[in-house]
Amino acid sequence: AQALGVSPYFDEIKGAPLHEESCSKEAVIRRLLTETGLRGQELCVCGDGKVEIRLGMEHDARTIGLASNEKARHGVDEVKRQRLVNAGADIIVGDFLEIETLLAFMGYKEA
């Protein structure tokens, strides 16, 4: 998030705990919900796989599907896009060039 320049838009960014390679995506999401008390649209799940998108949907989170075109290094990969559509992603992007669209989706308002 820091490398992409989007970390200032989040109160907190979580992933698997360090040195816990066996920690599942579901465990991370459940732990985040339990520890923070976030509910539904207060949580945004970003990912390139159907598992995290479905988990986000199960918890009424906002879901951003990342369908990066790795060969072109920009834009959307249509195969990945369709997989994320089938998983139920709320919005799908290939990269972070449309930052204003993503910020609006997440409900971020400039101060």
pLDDT tens-digit profile of 93-105?
Answer: 998 777 888 888 8
Please compute the mean of the pLDDT values over residues 55-69 and round it to a whole number: 92
Quote the DSSP letter at residue 17.
P
Q: pTM, whole model, 2 decimals? A: 0.76
Within 10 angstroms of residue 92's Cβ, the number of other Cβ atoms is: 19
**Which of the four pLDDT bands, split at 50, 70 and 90, describes residue 35?**
confident
Please state, in angstroms and rounded to a whole number, the distance separating the CA atoms of residues 49 and 1.
18
